[in-house]
Every structure is written in structure tokens, then in C-alpha cells.
Chain A
Amino acid sequence: MKGNFKVSLPFLLMKVEDKVVNYSDIGLWEQIRRNKLAYRYILPAAIVMAIVTAYPIIYQVWMAFTNFTVVNLKNPHPAFVGLKNFIDILKNNVPLENFNFWRTLTFDVIWTFINVFFHVTIGISLAVALNTPRFAAKRFYRSLLIIPWAVPAYITALIWKNMFDTQFGAVNLLLAKLGLPHNIAWLTNPNPPIHFLSILPYSFYACLITNVWLGFPFMMVVASGALQSVPKELYEAARIDGATERQQFFEITLPLIRFAMTPAIMLGLIWTFNQFNVIYLVSGGGPLGETEILVTQAYKLVNPAGLFGVASAFGLIVFVILLFITLVTNRVSKATESVI
């Protein structure tokens, strides 16, 4: 789909001249020769893109196959090591504390899906509630619910981090007031509170609460936008046919907002998969690296470890994973097609 978009500009420009040419029949060079003017228009942007995007990417791919470390920043002649960096990562053989690629990957996937599940369910529920006709103070509630989104994410994250403090945090104080078990070391206890979910320590739940708080307003906004476009007549007809509220929601509302929600969910998946702010600021990947996700791990490979070569290889692996997820969700949802 992206490929189509790329050739569409010269195509539009040249349309008038040769309407009947089928571009798939002729070679690339011939295409360029015929549409010289169009390529000249693109050239400045292409040069800038080559410098700021393509060059760093190619450089990173090269670094991934070398033992590039801090020393090589001044003297960029690291030794070529072939696939060693990739093998080391997959075998967890990296000189960095608590590095475990497979655990991090599994955790990241679980983290992403649980988060997006809560974002979407809470977001849609609130949107439906706010969409109730003759609901008083609708605007007030809408603005109130957008606040988590309006506050910069890192400030929210730092506030939540303090709220999860063992002795003085608001969360434990509230639990104590309610007579529930308190003195929970949310951010430092590496043991799982739920035994069969052994990969998820307390700090996972702390990060989850923070990120759900941050993430639902976006889904709510998208959903309420979509709800506006659902024709009221459908509900009237349903009521006449005797459909319950529940049936109306599942048979009318959900199918009709699905097309608006799918691209938002895809975005949500990718954002959450790479949610650096919350993880880095709330749990810092700890305790003992148990809540590390791929991007925070990549960051730590550079700072403090200074393993630029390994970090590049790690980046490429993350890229392949994200590409795979995108292709699958794309195939399932056909989301990008409906957008373009």
C-alpha cells in the first residue's frame, strides 16, 4: 500500500500526458526517464530523507555486525564480528545486569496486550456512558476524563512512582485506611503477587495502573467520535424490534465503531509495546530487570553499558518483531487499507 503511494505523485502529474501507459510493463529507469520533472520535484526531500533517515539506519545495520563500543566513537574502526551480537543476545550472553532477551520479549507482549485490553474496554465504556442522551454535565465529565491525557506523561509517571512508595505512598496509605494488607513494596519486591502469573512482579501492576490511567482517554476520544456517526435510527428500530440495551450495544454499537477503533488499537499496541516513559520512570525496569521491556533494555545497552554494537543488533531484532506484529495486525484488520 505504501508502494502505491510513492508512485502516485508522479503518476498524477503525468496523467494528462499519457493516460494509457501501464507502468507495471516498463522498467524503473524508463519510468524515471519519462517522469523526469516529477522526480526533480521529489529530489530535495529525497536527499534530506537519505541524510537524516536512511544513513543512520544503514550505519546502525553496519554497527550491528561489529563490536562497536564507546571507544569506537572517536576511532570508528571496530572489528567485524559477523552474527556474534545477534547470537549473544538470543543466548543472553551480554555483559549487562539481568539481561534476558526471552523474558523481556514475553513480558513486553503480555504487557502490551493487557494494557490495550484495559485501554479499549475502559475507553469504550466511558464513551458510551458519555454518549447517553440528556446526560447532565456531559462536557464537565468529558474534560475531566481527558486530563490524564493532557498532563505530560512523564509527570504522571513520576507522580505514580511516588504514590507507590512503600512507607509513604498514597496507594499503601489508602490500603491501610481500608484495612487491607499494606506495606507492599510495589517497586522493589520481585516476587509475583499472583502465583501462577510468575513472570509479573508487583511493579508490573504498578506500571499497569499508571499506563491504564494514561492510555484510556485516547481510546475514549476515538470511541466517542465514532459513536457520533452511528445513526440514531438504528437504535430506534432496534427498540421497536424489542432488542435489549445489551443487544443494542453488541449488535449495533460495537460493529459500527469497529472500523474507527481498529487503527486506534493498532496504534495503541505499538505505542504500548514501546512505552518507554512509564516503565523507565515508574519501575526503571526493576526489580532485577523483571519489568524491562525491549525499548528500555535497548536504552540500557547503550547507557550505561555502552555496547553500541550489541544495542544496534538488539534494535534490529526489535524492528523485525514490530514488523511482524504490524503485518499480522494489518492482515487481520486491513486497517491501513481503509485509512488510505
Chain B
Amino acid sequence: MSSRQNAVKKIVVLATVVMMLVSVSLTGCGTKKPAKPAEQAKPITITIWHSWSGAELDVLNDAISKYTAAHSNVTINQLQVPFDQLKNKFQTSAAAGEGPDILVGPADWIGAFTKANLIAPIDPYVDSDFLSHYVKGAVGQVTLNGKMMAMPESTECVAMVYNKDLVKNLPKDTDSMITLADSLQTGDTYGLVYNTGFYFTAGYFFAAGMKLFDANNNSIVSQGDGGVKALNFLKKLSDDPKIIAANDYGKADSMFKEGKAAMIINGPWAVGDYVKALGADKVGVAPMPSFSVTGKPFAPFVNTKDFMINANSDDAHKKAAMDFVKFMTGKEIEQEFFEKAKHIPSNVDVDTSSDPIVNGFLEQMKNGVPMPIISEMGAVWDPMQTAIDSVLAGKATPEDAIKTAQDAINKKIQSTRNSSKK
């Protein structure tokens, strides 16, 4: 009995090994053909770290196989890192002289990385002719002190993503959004699942009149009553038992995919997967309703997702990495990112006019504020999140919370300024 099982096991293992060998040799044949003998360059391995998943990851894998098919000497290793870990992982390893050749991250990391000398300017690898194919605002955002520090892949902001089966008339302002959400709640289905992360709520803070920095890049979030108004609004959402307002990305994400959430707030990166889960005719994107208290429109952060080049890579790796980045931001792959993952391309050659989903985000962007890329921005996220969390939990009044947040931000900014001064 057991000897037979062993025999079966052996056969299975053998078959697997044979299949692997065959597939390896076959792919070998495939890649050898297109390479011209004159271009028989030295083999080189490029590493790329990113936090793409779902449809985005499919596009990346597809792009890698296309690129390596044309460049047989290049091997590209991609590593997916959860977004909340990616910044620190790169920062720590690059500061220790290691890390990947290419990092995919949002533009607001550029300031801190440039200051710490972790990423290299890409000016030597791009010329004005090449850049003329890219959205001016996107290129502008990745330029710091006159140097281009990254290559923009797509532009992002958050907007309302809604299920067309459940939402027939879009709410105009936040008051009607709350009324609508309450009326849609039945059983397991919720009208509004609102992510209370600061990135997602910032639009209402700005609509309420809050400002992040003064001219010296010190925090002024508690000046005026913008912060208080926005926090009061969020508290109202979270106190409503028929609305889920929580700092829980995964929950809103999976509820929407299951059709249990009528309205959520999310960015273009997620919509590709929603279309896959619900069907293209059910997913709608529109600007978030305007803020009833001030009557101003929702003004989310607008930022680019970029390719950054590790300053530790040697010249050969930088050159090879930039060549791959140019391929990734070229028309072919950007078109694919747009079609499959709903990325809003930075490449102007991609035709996006017909897509209602992308148009929803573009409409929202008109009211957006560009994400600051100065290193001080890094100090804002956690204190603002604590302000939101403590108000929603009833642990602090909005007035105290925003005051504490400003102090905490300025303390963080001061401590990094001191340590870099030495």
C-alpha cells in the first residue's frame, strides 16, 4: 500500500521536474531568438519593489515578460511589498546601501528620499523630446530643486466609487449623501462605507478650509476652524449606525467587491479589480459630494505614482533600470495599465477619452490639491490620523485633537531637522 503510494509520489515528482525542465528550456529558446548577436550585452539583473496587486500586478508581469523577451540579457525580479510597509522597507535598506534598483511609490516620498540621498535624479536619462509625451503637471510634481527625481507612471486621487445597481441619483452634498446612505442600509448591505484614513478624508479637511503648512513649512493645521469642521463631520458619519466609517481599507474594499457597499471612497488603482468583480456596467466613479458646511467641493490630494531609481545602484544598473522604466511608461504598457487597471496615464499618447470611470477621476481632480512632496509631509500622516481616530472614538474634542496634531507634526518636523543638521 505504502510502497505503491511512494511509487505514485515518485512519478508525480518526476513528471513535475520534467515539466519544469522542458518549460525552462522552451522559454530559453523563446528569449534567444529576438536578441541580435550584436547586442549580446552582459547579463544584468534589475530588481523592482512595488505594492501593485490584482490587475496592476498582471500588467506588471506582462510588461516584464514582454521586456525580457526583447532584452535577453536582462532579468527583472519584482517584489510586491504591502503599501504600508513599502516606504520603511525601502528607506531602511537603501540607507544601508542596498535595496532595489527601482521603487514604485507616490510622489510624497520624494522629499524625504531626496534629502536622505536614497534616490538618484533621472535627468541624465531623459530629454525634453521624451518628456514632451508626458503630462506637464505630473512631471512638475516629481521635480524637486530643479531636478527630476522620479518618472511619473500615473496620476491618482480618490473619488466616490459607487455601485450603479444601488445608487440611482448621485448625492450633491454631504447632507444628502448621509440621507441616501441611511436609506440604502438593509441587513448586510450598507449605503456608505467610508475610509477614515487621512489620505481619504483630506478632501473634506481642505473643503473645510484647513491648510497644511505655512511659508516656512511648519504645520498650521489647527489655524482657523477647518480641521474642527471636518472632524465634526467625520464624527457624525461614524456615530451614524447605518454608516460604516472606519480606518479599514480591506473592509471597504471587500464589501464593495461583494456588492454589500453602495458607495465607497477609493482611487483608480482599485477600480480595475472592482470592474472584474462586479462587471463594468455596475461600477461608477464620480466626484465626492461637496461639503455641506462650507459648500466647497471635496478637494482630495492629487499625486503621481512614480518610478524612483535607487541612488545605490551603479551606473550600469541605473541605465538598465531607466531603460525598463521608459518601457513601462511608454505608450504600450501605459495603455495596458489604463485598460486593465484603470490607471490614469501620465503619458499623453494614451487615449482615455471614452472611459467613464477615468473621466470620473479626472472630474474629481479638477478640485484637487497637489500633494506636497517636501520631506515635512511625512510628519503629517500619523498625527492627523491620531486626531481623526481619537475624535471618532470620543476620546478628544475636535478642538483639542487638531491642536495636539499640529503640535505633534511640528515636533516631528523639528526632530528630523535637528538630526539632519547634526
In contact, B393 and A73 (Cβ under 8 angstroms) = no
How far apart are the CA atoms of A74 and B393 in the complex, in Å? 41
What is the chain B residue whose CB lies nearest that of A310? B415
Determine, out of B23-31, B149-157, B290-298, B383-391, the stretch whose residues face the partner at the interface: B383-391
Contact partners of B85 in chain A: CB under 8 A: 303
| B279 close to A (CB within 8 Å) | no
Within 186-216 of A, Cβ neighbours of B (below 8 Å) are at 188-191
Determine if B389 and A287 form an interchain contact, defined as CB atoms under 8 angstroms apart: yes
Contact status B241-A183, CB under 8 Å? yes
**Which of A79, A165, A304 interacts with B88 by CB under 8 Å?**
A304
Contact of A74 (CB < 8 Å), options: B87, B95, B382, B422 = B95
Residues of A within 8 A of B392 (CB): 188
**Is the CB–CB distance between A71 and B419 below 8 Å?**
yes
| Other-chain contact of B188, A78, A79, A168 (Cβ < 8 Å) | A168
Is the CB of A98 closer than 8 A to any CB of chain B? yes
Instruction: Find A288's partner among B88, B386, B416, B422 (CB 8 Å cutoff).
Output: B386
Q: Which residues of A contact B87 (CB under 8 A)?
A: 304
Interface check A152, CB cutoff 8 A: no
Set B117, B188, B382, B395: member contacting A190, Cβ < 8 A: B395
Complex contact A188–B395 (CB within 8 A): no
Whether, in the assembled complex, A97 has its beta carbon less than 8 Å from a beta carbon of chain B, the answer is: yes
Total A-B residue contacts, Cβ distance less than 8 Å: 71
Known contacts being A97-B408, A288-B395, is A306 close to B88, with CB within 8 Å? Answer: yes
**Contact bitstring A158-170, B, C-beta under 8 A = 1, else 0:** 0000000111100
Near A by CB (< 8 A), chain B positions 364-403 give 382-383, 385-386, 389-390, 392-395
Contact pick for A95, options B116, B244, B246, B415, CB 8 Å: B415
Judged by a CB distance under 8 angstroms, whether B96 is at the interface is yes
Report B-chain residues with C-beta under 8 Å of the C-beta of A191. 393-395
Question: Which A residues touch B54, using CB under 8 A?
Answer: none
Write the nearest CB–CB distance from A291 to chain B, whole angstroms: 13
- Do most interface residues of chain A lie in helix, strand or loop, or is the interface mixed? loop
Cβ of B390: which chain A residues have Cβ within 8 Å of it? 190, 288
Q: How far is the CB of A307 from chain B (nearest CB, A)?
A: 8
Cβ–Cβ contact A79 & B415, under 8 A: no
Contacts of B117 in A (CB 8 A): 74
Asked, given contacts A97-B386, A287-B389, A304-B88, whether A71 binds B395 with beta carbons under 8 Å apart, the answer is: no
- Hey, which chain B residues are within 8 Å of A98, CB to CB? 386
What is the CB-to-nearest-CB distance from A290 to chain B, in angstroms, rounded to a whole number? Answer: 9
* Size class of the contact patch on chain B: 35 or more
Q: A183 — which chain B residues lie within 8 A by C-beta? A: 241
Contact (A303, B393) CB under 8 Å given A97-B408, A168-B188: no
Nearest residue (CB) in B for A307 is B415
B80 at the A interface (CB under 8 A): no
Are B422 and A79 in contact, CB atoms less than 8 angstroms apart?
yes
By the criterion CB–CB under 8 Å, are B386 and A70 in contact? no
> A69 an interface residue at 8 Å Cβ cutoff?
yes
A296 to chain B, nearest CB (A): 15
Q: What's the Cα separation between A298 and B93 when bound, in Å?
A: 19
Please state if B420 and A71 are interface contacts (CB–CB under 8 Å): yes
| Interface membership of A67, Cβ < 8 A | yes
Q: Restricting to A279-318, which residues have a CB under 8 Å from any CB of B?
A: 286-288, 303-304, 306
Neighbouring B residues of A188 by C-beta, 8 Å: 246-247, 389, 392-393
Evaluate contact between A95 and B412: CB separation under 8 angstroms: yes
- Residue B282, interface by CB 8 Å: no
Q: Which of A96, A167, A190, A306 contacts B91 (CB 8 A)?
A: A306
A189 to B395, CA, bound (A): 9
Chain A interface residue count, Cβ-Cβ cutoff 8 angstroms: 28
A77-100 at interface with B (beta carbon < 8 Å) = 78-79, 95-98
Residues of B within 8 A of A69 (CB): 416, 419
B92: CB under 8 A from chain A? yes
Q: Is the CB of A288 within 8 A of B412?
A: no
Q: Does B411 reach chain A (CB closer than 8 Å)?
A: yes
Q: Contact: B386 with A303, CB < 8 Å?
A: no
A303-B88 in contact given A189-B393, A287-B393, A288-B386 (Cβ < 8 Å): yes
Q: Check A70 against B95 for contact (C-beta < 8 Å).
A: yes
Q: Encode contact with A along B234-256: 1 for CB under 8 Å, 0 otherwise.
A: 00000001001011000100000
Q: What is the chain A residue whose CB lies nearest that of B414?
A: A95
Contact present for B96 and A74 (CB under 8 Å) = yes
Q: Is B97 on the interface with A (CB-CB < 8 A)?
A: yes
Complex contact B116–A190 (CB within 8 A):
no
CA distance A161 to B117 in the complex (A): 39
| Closest CB in chain B relative to A82 CB, distance in Å | 15
B241 surroundings in chain A (CB, below 8 A): 183
How far, in angstroms, from A67 to B415 measured CA to CA in the complex? Answer: 10
Chain A hits for B393, CB < 8 A: 188-191, 287-288
Name the residue among B116, B411, B415, B420 with the largest chain A CB count within 10 angstroms.
B415
Residue-wise, chain A 257-294 has the 8 Å CB interface mask toward B (1 for contact) of 00000000000000000000000000000111000000
Q: Interface digits, B88-108 against A, CB 8 Å rule (1 contact, 0 not)?
A: 100110011100000000000
Task: Name, among A69, A72, A96, A189, the residue most crowded by chain B CB atoms within 10 Å (CB to CB).
Answer: A69
The distance in angstroms between the C-alpha atoms of A78 and B244, with both chains bound, is: 46
* Among all A-B residue pairs, the 7 with the closest Cβ atoms: A73-B95, A73-B96, A95-B415, A95-B412, A190-B393, A97-B382, A303-B88
A–B complex contacts, Cβ < 8 Å, 7 sampled? A71-B419, A97-B382, A167-B188, A183-B241, A188-B247, A188-B389, A288-B389
Known: A70-B92, A190-B390, A303-B88. 9 other contacts (CB 8 A): A71-B95, A71-B116, A97-B382, A165-B251, A166-B246, A188-B389, A191-B393, A288-B395, A304-B87
